């Protein structure tokens, strides 16, 4: 079954595309495969896969330049009508936000967009790998390399937040590596355009990166909600993980891990952190601060003494081989573990006796 995109929904989709592209989009392009994506691009190998979408490498026929295309299924053959509509809404929202964020070097470049009644084709610049994969090979990064990456991430988040957009799913898998040393923020499917003073309460994201105020919305009906600051918390998790090779918050039982996050309970274990500078630890502590009003902003982080330093700490080449205690275990397959609650608190249960799925920090949201 094809998700209905006729009558009122047809008009809504066409209006979305007009808004996205800044000019009227011929509606027959929605139905013309020949004059659309497959005429302009040649599909190649799969490079990522999710529940309602797949990411493949593709070549532009005219230039032979490589790109990545996210193909989003908006039919109800493999998903419910509600899920299909949600996939459509998130994909259209992602494209619209990326158009608004176009041009920043730390934001993945949106190259093209082809909608059809059954699939949406979103074409991005091609990335050689995810930051997650790069870190897995290195085990952990030295301070100089981490600083270079964080510089780009802070600048990207500053730009996003200036536009009053919150990403809500920053993680190693959503940071792409372009040509070796440039990194870009990707996957804006959960991103949200905020109004002045607006707070969110829906629980979306990846467990190990969730901010305390996000979790409070699940645990407490009286929670005020959350805003842009959740992205800065996630950057703290990313920085901690890059420098140590371990995640700051991890427990086999979901509820205990969530409590650790809410209480900001993590530590700098001597065997992992003795060669890391106090400046790096201080910035992490400021990012992983539970009270939102005291948490450092990305704009402030760029001025932190550690970010302005040129010193490096431990040489990554001296790091011991793979530590079996790391949560990034190659032997375990990646399982999507996305805590998501859209309508009812009964949708998501955090059972104290339930064990966290393998690699809770490893989750793809294509």
Instruction: Quote helix, strand, coil % in the chain, to nearest 5.
Output: 40, 15, 45
At residue 148, the pLDDT reads 97
* Residues in Cβ contact with 258 at an 8 Å cutoff, skipping those fewer than 6 apart: 207, 210, 215, 219, 350
Cβ-based burial of 263 (10 A; exposed 0-12, middle 13-18, buried ≥19): exposed
169 catalytic, yes or no? Answer: yes
Go through the domains of the chain in sequence order and give each one's CATH number: 7-125 (3.30.200.20), 129-347 (1.10.510.10)
At residue 35, the pLDDT reads 54
List 28, 73, 133, 169, catalytic entry: 169
CA angle, 27 as apex, 26 and 31 as ends, to 5°? 120
Cα 56 to chain center, whole Å? 18
At residue 48, the pLDDT reads 87
| Residue found by looking up tokens 């529940």 in the block | 51
- Three-state DSSP at 177 gives strand
At residue 36, the pLDDT reads 86
Return averaged pLDDT per consecutive 10 residues of the chain, 366 residues in all: 39 45 42 69 91 92 96 90 92 96 96 93 95 94 97 98 98 94 95 96 93 92 93 98 95 88 95 95 98 97 95 51 37 31 37 38 40
Which pTM does this prediction carry? 0.80
At residue 272, the pLDDT reads 93
């Amino acid at each position: 079954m094809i998700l209905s995109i006729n009558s009122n929904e047809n008009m809504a989709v066409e209006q979305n595309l007009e808004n996205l592209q800044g000019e009227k989009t011929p509606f027959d392009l929605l139905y013309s495969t020949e004059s659309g994506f497959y005429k302009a691009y040649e599909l190649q190998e799969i490079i990522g896969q999710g529940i309602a979408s797949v990411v493949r490498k593709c070549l532009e026929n005219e230039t032979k330049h490589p790109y990545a295309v996210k193909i989003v299924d908006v039919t109800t053959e493999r998903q419910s009508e509600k899920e299909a509509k949600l996939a459509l809404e998130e994909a259209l929202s992602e494209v619209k936000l990326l158009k608004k964020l176009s041009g920043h070097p730390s934001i993945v470049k949106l190259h093209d967009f082809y909608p059809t009644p059954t699939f949406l084709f979103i074409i991005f610049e091609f990335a050689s790998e995810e930051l997650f994969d790069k870190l897995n090979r290195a085990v952990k990064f030295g301070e100089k390399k981490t600083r270079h990456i964080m510089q780009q991430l802070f600048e990207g988040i500053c730009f996003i937040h200036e536009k009053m957009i919150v990403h809500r799913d920053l993680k190693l898998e959503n940071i792409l590596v372009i040509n070796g040393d440039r990194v870009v923020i990707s996957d804006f499917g959960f991103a949200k355009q905020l109004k002045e003073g607006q707070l969110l309460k829906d629980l979306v994201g990846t467990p190990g990166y969730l901010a305390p105020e996000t979790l409070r919305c699940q645990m407490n009906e009286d929670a005020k909600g959350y805003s842009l600051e959740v992205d800065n918390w996630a950057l703290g998790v990313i920085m901690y993980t890059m420098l140590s090779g371990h995640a700051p918050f991890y427990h086999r039982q979901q509820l205990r891990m969530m409590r650790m996050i809410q209480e900001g309970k993590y530590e700098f274990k001597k065997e992992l952190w003795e060669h890391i500078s106090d400046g790096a630890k201080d910035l992490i502590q400021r990012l992983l601060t539970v009270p939102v009003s005291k948490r450092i902003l990305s704009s402030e982080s760029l001025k932190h003494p550690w970010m302005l330093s040129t010193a490096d700490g431990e040489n990554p080449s001296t790091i011991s081989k793979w530590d079996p205690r790391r949560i990034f275990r190659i032997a375990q397959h990646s399982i999507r573990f996305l805590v998501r609650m859209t309508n009812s608190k009964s949708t998501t249960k955090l059972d104290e006796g339930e064990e966290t799925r393998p690699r809770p920090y490893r989750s793809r949201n294509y």
